[in-house]
């Protein structure tokens, strides 16, 4: 149980979400209403399930609000569930993830653009090279390595040389599991090109 | 086909299925190989603190589907592997609990109370043998209850329940899970309705995908495996990252003790443990059959019951084998019986069951639920053959557990030394890779990350994850049952209240929520969700 104030805020958030679903999102963003009558046949429309889910969420949120409004608070000293430290951590983790995904996605095409253009008579695209070593693995190796290495460094609070090797090993193991034995499997990002 | 023919067909589907390799001319079926591999991997992962069977089941599912494809032949090897992992992880969780006072899985927490003091007294070997004996006994008992109960329950459900009753039964299951998991039934219910809402996005029967806001990326809804892996696994990974990040300056070295005491487990010792194991096995089996109640509660109740029965010289909590046996028999007895609601009703009651349902839904050709147990005489019901095949894989898992499980679990103690801070980033990459190879689209990775963030936030605000996941999975079945019930009732607005059975189910749903809302609950149930 969180502090009374936090629980009240949570109840209000879900109450708001439920109301939006019931009065705006479900009716306006579904082709058929809750109940549809077509050629004298009455059926359940697409809006039924989300509207009922939203309405019941509203009911539960109201009960939750009432229960927490009336409760004697034993958890006043609890920290808020997400504080500045959490946000700082999430920001750093998001940065690492975004960098790694960018490497996943762009490292291969960049390598092809730089090193696979041959005599220059014809432009070679990554799509043409995505089944060819080493281009097919460059994105995964660089993205995967940076994801594991930088995340480990973040949570350990320091950079250790040995983690370079462990990060490379895990990437190599994943390539051995997915790429070497399975012809029909595409590692990131090769399915998108 | 008679009942015996179906059972035999299921056994042969496993034993004489596609061959992986042969030894001295005897073919070893790929299903047996996968069960064995899953079981051994499950022990290793169970023995690794911070990881649990659910992690392996989650990340291996897309890999296995990539390997075996979407054919009915894939069902037994893939589901056999998952069952092997489930059984292995249950046994393995006791290893670090006993050796290093660190439970490998949350349900092994109670094992530390007596297992670690035994290790400190130089009896680690005896504690591990006791844990294995109790775990294998509880698991086998639970499986036997599953084999005998699930078909009968399914036949009753299929015979007596119409569309409205089935919809009411799903509502009852969701209410029960929402009420018992986590500290607040209201938050559990909100999580369940939120799960239904999210599952509604991009689905429906009309041409326009509902709630998609006219966007292309929401038009196909959220891939099931991606969403479940995101909330359950990635959410847990991010949560663990943050915990390690906060505690990064504290270093705690696990200490080892010289082992010189009595480390054997004689037949006489085993006989003395049997009363504790029997009672705990029954407790665990009953708890496991109820959706949403995890093995952590079973272990706690088993331990408490054993403590009341105990009259030996060493009290519970000071290193007595009876304490280890009572805990391990109870938490292992959950693993078989928690498949009762899955196989007989199609309702997953815990995380392991979620992944079995996901495997069945992804591969196709097997829809867990009451229709599986149709003993049709004139034509073969392939789903029933698969069901008996699954029972066979469970028995193979038990045989492996009784034969090589004990020795193997004593070898994997080293896994407890692998630091979580090194493992978790690897799981992060593995999860992303597993989802990508399944969906072959970066959009799935973005969905995975978004659901991971959702899972993290839900953990932070202490909103239970399991009701969300189960509601997300069952939303489609619930809507189909409600549409059909509405149609056959000639559009009666009270279509759910037309039969006594559905009224009883709905009344129990409300009563369960009221009962648990009045009862002060502890936050401990939260921790049992992923492992």
Q: Is A91 on the interface with B (CB under 8 A)?
A: no
Is the backbone of residue B292 left (phi > 0), alpha (psi -120 to 50) or beta?
left
pLDDT of residue B458: 93
pLDDT in tens, B341-381: 888 888 887 788 888 888 888 888 888 888 888 888 888 88
pLDDT of residue B249: 60
- The residue of B199, B203, B235, B425 whose CB has the most chain A CBs within 10 angstroms, and thus the best one to mutate to test that interface, is B425
pLDDT in tens, B62-81: 888 888 888 888 899 999 99
Rounded Cα gap, residues B344 and B369, in angstroms: 5
> With bands split at pLDDT 50, 70 and 90, how would you rate the model's confidence at A64?
very high
The answer on pLDDT for B498 being more than 90 is no
> With bands split at pLDDT 50, 70 and 90, how would you rate the model's confidence at B531?
very low
pLDDT in tens, B303-340: 888 888 888 777 888 888 899 999 999 988 988 888 88
Work out the minimum CA distance from B242 to partner chain A, whole angstroms. Answer: 7
What is the full DSSP assignment across B375-417? --SSS--HHHHHHHHHHHHHHHHHHHIIIIIHHHHHHGGGGGG
Percent of chain B with pLDDT over 90: 32
Work out the minimum CA distance from B154 to partner chain A, whole angstroms. Answer: 27
Beta carbons within 8 Å of B189's beta carbon, 6+ residues apart: A56, A60, B175, B178, B179, B467, B513
Rounded Cα gap, residues B405 and B89, in angstroms: 11
Task: Extract the tokens encoding B262.
Answer: 């009595």
pLDDT in tens, A9-46: 999 999 999 999 999 999 999 999 999 888 888 889 99
Q: Which of A106-115, A181-190, B1-10, B301-310 has the lowest mean pLDDT?
A: A181-190
The answer on pLDDT for B426 being more than 70 is yes
* Beta-carbon separation of B187 and A64 below 8 A: yes
> With bands split at pLDDT 50, 70 and 90, how would you rate the model's confidence at B104?
low
pLDDT of residue B139: 92
Work out the minimum CA distance from B445 to partner chain A, whole angstroms. Answer: 9
* Beta-carbon separation of B425 and A93 below 8 A: no
pLDDT of residue A63: 93
Highest-confidence segment of B121-125, B306-310, B467-471: B467-471
Q: Is A175 on the interface with B (CB under 8 A)?
A: no
Percent of chain B with pLDDT over 70: 93
Q: Which residue has the higher pLDDT, A81 or A73?
A: A81
Q: What is the pTM of this model?
A: 0.84
Instruction: List chain A residues with CB under 8 Å of B424.
Output: 151, 155
Q: Is A69 on the interface with B (CB under 8 A)?
A: no
> With bands split at pLDDT 50, 70 and 90, how would you rate the model's confidence at B530?
very low
- Among A54, A89, A148, the residue with its CB nearest the CB of B429 is A148
Highest-confidence segment of A176-185, B295-304, B462-471: B462-471
pLDDT of residue B529: 47
- Among A14, A32, A157, the residue with its CB nearest the CB of B190 is A14
Q: Determine how many CB atoms are found less than 10 A away from the CB of residue A19.
A: 16
| Neighbour-count burial for B77-113, b at 16+ CB within 10 Å, e otherwise | bbbbbbbbbbbbbbbbbbbbbbbbbbbbbbbbbbbbb
pLDDT of residue B369: 83
Nearest Cα residue in chain A from B479 = A49
pLDDT mean over B479-492: 90
Q: Where are the domains of chain A?
A: 4-70, 84-192
* Beta-carbon separation of A29 and B186 below 8 A: no
Q: Where are the domains of chain B?
A: 3-248+265-528
pLDDT of residue A74: 62
Q: Is A154 on the interface with B (CB under 8 A)?
A: yes
Quote the DSSP letter at residue A78. P
pLDDT of residue A115: 82
The answer on pLDDT for B204 being more than 70 is yes
Helix axes A161-178, A135-156, angle to 10 degrees: 140
Phi, psi of A69, rounded to the nearest 5 degrees: -65, -35
For B17-123, where are the alpha helices, taking DSSP H only?
Answer: 30-46, 53-68, 75-92, 94-100, 109-120
The answer on pLDDT for B293 being more than 50 is yes
pLDDT in tens, B13-31: 998 878 877 777 778 899 9
pLDDT of residue B527: 43
| Neighbour-count burial for B39-59, b at 16+ CB within 10 Å, e otherwise | bbbbbbbbbbbbbbbbbbbbb
The answer on pLDDT for B105 being more than 80 is no
Q: Which residue has the higher pLDDT, B314 or B520?
A: B314
pLDDT of residue B289: 84
pLDDT of residue B233: 86
* Beta-carbon separation of A61 and B190 below 8 A: yes
What average pLDDT does chain B have?
85
pLDDT of residue B367: 86
* Beta-carbon separation of B461 and A10 below 8 A: yes
pLDDT of residue B258: 63
Work out the minimum CA distance from B330 to partner chain A, whole angstroms. Answer: 28
pLDDT in tens, B28-48: 899 999 999 999 999 988 888
pLDDT mean over B408-419: 76
> With bands split at pLDDT 50, 70 and 90, how would you rate the model's confidence at B247?
confident
> With bands split at pLDDT 50, 70 and 90, how would you rate the model's confidence at B251?
low
What average pLDDT does chain A have?
87
Q: Which of B60, B120, B36, B56 is nearest to B415 (CA)?
A: B56
Q: Which of B9-23, B142-156, B448-462 has the lowest mean pLDDT?
A: B9-23
> With bands split at pLDDT 50, 70 and 90, how would you rate the model's confidence at B405?
confident
pLDDT of residue A22: 95
């Amino acid at each position: 149980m969180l502090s009374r104030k936090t629980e009240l805020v949570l109840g209000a958030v879900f109450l708001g979400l439920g109301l939006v679903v019931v009065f705006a999102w479900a009716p306006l963003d579904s082709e058929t209403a809750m109940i549809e009558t077509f050629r004298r046949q009455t059926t359940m429309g697409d809006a039924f399930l989300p509207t009922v889910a939203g309405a019941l969420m509203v009911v539960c949120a109201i009960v939750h609000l009432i229960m927490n409004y009336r409760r004697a608070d034993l958890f006043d000293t609890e920290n808020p569930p997400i504080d500045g430290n959490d946000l700082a951590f999430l920001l750093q983790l998001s940065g690492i993830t975004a960098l790694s995904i960018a490497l996943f996605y762009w490292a291969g095409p960049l390598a092809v653009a730089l090193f696979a253009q041959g005599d220059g008579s014809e432009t070679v695209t990554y799509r043409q090279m995505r089944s060819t070593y080493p281009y097919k693995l460059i994105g995964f190796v660089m993205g995967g390595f940076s994801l594991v290495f930088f995340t480990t460094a973040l949570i350990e609070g320091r950079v250790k040389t040995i983690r370079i090797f462990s990060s490379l090993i895990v990437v190599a193991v994943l390539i051995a599991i997915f790429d070497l034995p399975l012809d029909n499997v595409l590692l990131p990002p090769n399915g998108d090109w | 086909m008679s009942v015996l023919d179906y059972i035999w067909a299921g056994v042969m589907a496993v034993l004489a299925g596609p061959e992986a390799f042969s030894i001295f001319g005897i073919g070893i079926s790929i299903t047996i190989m996968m069960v064995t591999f899953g079981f051994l991997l499950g022990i290793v992962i169970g023995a690794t603190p911070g990881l649990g069977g659910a992690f392996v089941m989650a990340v291996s599912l897309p890999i296995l589907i990539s390997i075996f494809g979407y054919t009915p032949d894939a069902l037994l090897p893939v589901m056999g592997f998952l069952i092997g992992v489930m059984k292995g992880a249950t046994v393995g969780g006791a290893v670090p609990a006993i050796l290093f006072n660190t439970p490998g899985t949350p349900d092994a927490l109670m094992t530390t109370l007596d297992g670690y003091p035994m290790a400190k007294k130089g009896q680690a070997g005896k504690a591990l043998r006791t844990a294995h004996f109790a775990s294998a006994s509880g698991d086998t008992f639970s499986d036997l209850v599953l084999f005998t109960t699930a078909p009968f329950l399914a036949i009753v459900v299929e015979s007596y329940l119409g569309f409205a009753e089935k919809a009411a039964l799903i509502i009852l299951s969701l209410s029960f899970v929402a009420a018992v998991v986590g500290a607040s039934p209201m938050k559990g219910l909100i999580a369940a309705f939120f799960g239904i809402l999210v599952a509604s996005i991009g689905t429906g029967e009309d041409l326009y995908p509902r709630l998609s806001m006219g966007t292309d990326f929401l038009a196909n809804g959220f891939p099931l495996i991606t969403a479940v892996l995101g909330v359950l696994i990635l959410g847990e990974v991010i949560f663990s990252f943050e915990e390690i990040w906060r505690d990064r300056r504290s270093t705690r070295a696990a200490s080892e003790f010289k082992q010189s005491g009595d480390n054997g487990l004689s037949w006489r010792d085993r006989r003395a443990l049997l009363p504790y194991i029997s009672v705990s096995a029954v407790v665990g089996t009953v708890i496991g059959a109820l959706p949403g109640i995890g093995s952590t509660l079973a272990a706690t109740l088993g331990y408490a019951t054993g403590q009341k029965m105990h009259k030996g010289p060493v009290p519970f909590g000071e290193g007595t084998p009876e304490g280890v046996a009572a805990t391990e028999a109870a938490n292992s007895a959950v693993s078989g019986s928690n498949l009762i609601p899955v196989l007989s009703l199609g309702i997953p009651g815990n995380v392991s069951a979620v992944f079995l349902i996901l495997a069945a839904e992804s591969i196709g050709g097997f829809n867990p639920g009451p229709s599986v147990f149709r003993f049709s005489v004139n034509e073969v019901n392939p789903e029933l053959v698969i069901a008996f095949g699954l029972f066979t894989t469970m028995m193979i898992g038990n045989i492996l557990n009784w034969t090589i499980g004990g020795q193997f679990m004593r070898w994997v103690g080293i896994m407890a030394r692998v630091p979580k801070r090194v493992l978790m980033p690897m799981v992060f990459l593995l999860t992303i890779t597993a989802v990508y190879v399944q969906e072959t689209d970066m959009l799935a990775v973005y969905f995975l990350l978004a659901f991971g963030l959702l899972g993290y936030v839900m953990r932070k605000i202490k909103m239970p994850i399991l009701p969300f996941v189960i509601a997300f999975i069952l939303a489609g079945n619930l809507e189909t049952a409600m549409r059909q019930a509405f149609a056959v009732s000639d559009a009666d607005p009270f279509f759910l209240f037309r039969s006594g059975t559905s009224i009883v189910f709905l009344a129990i749903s409300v009563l369960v929520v009221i009962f648990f809302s009045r009862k002060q609950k502890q936050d401990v149930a939260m921790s049992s969700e992923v492992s």
